[in-house]
Amino acid sequence: MIDLRILPEVFQDTAAAADWDDEKEFGIGDRFLSSFRSTDNPIRIKPHSFTIIYKNYRRVLLEPFPYAVYFRLHDEHAIIALVLRTARNPATLRRMLRSREKL
């Protein structure tokens, strides 16, 4: 099992997504956050089982929500770098991941 680190910006990503979901229907935001937290163990236990999407970033889909968690492996830990709607433009995804590479 590897260590998991989460960039501070990811907490902003998840809070914004949860707020947006709660605007549609109260309580969905909490379910979204629960779905996000449930990705911890799969990433820690089997990080290499997730497909590389861009450069060294891998993706975990947040079922049943239209979001994905993007993480990279570095030494003996995984770094969650971004949570983003899957419908976003791929160029936007790549730009956001590049901006978080140095963090």
Cα distances (Å, whole numbers) of residue 51 to 15, 54, 68: 25, 9, 12
* More confident: 16 or 23: 16
Average confidence (pLDDT) over 15-23: 89
Number of C-beta neighbours around residue 77 at 10 A: 14
* Model pLDDT for residues 57-96, shown as the tens digit of each residue: 999 999 999 999 999 999 889 999 999 999 999 999 999 9
- In CATH terms, 3-99 corresponds, of 3.30.70.380, 3.30.2310.20, 3.40.605.10, 1.10.645.10, to 3.30.2310.20
Tally Cβ neighbours within 10 Å of residue 29. 19
Q: How open is the CA angle 30-26-31, to the nearest 5 degrees?
A: 20
pLDDT tens for 30-39 read 999 999 999 9
Report the pLDDT value the prediction gives residue 103, as an integer from 0 to 100: 59
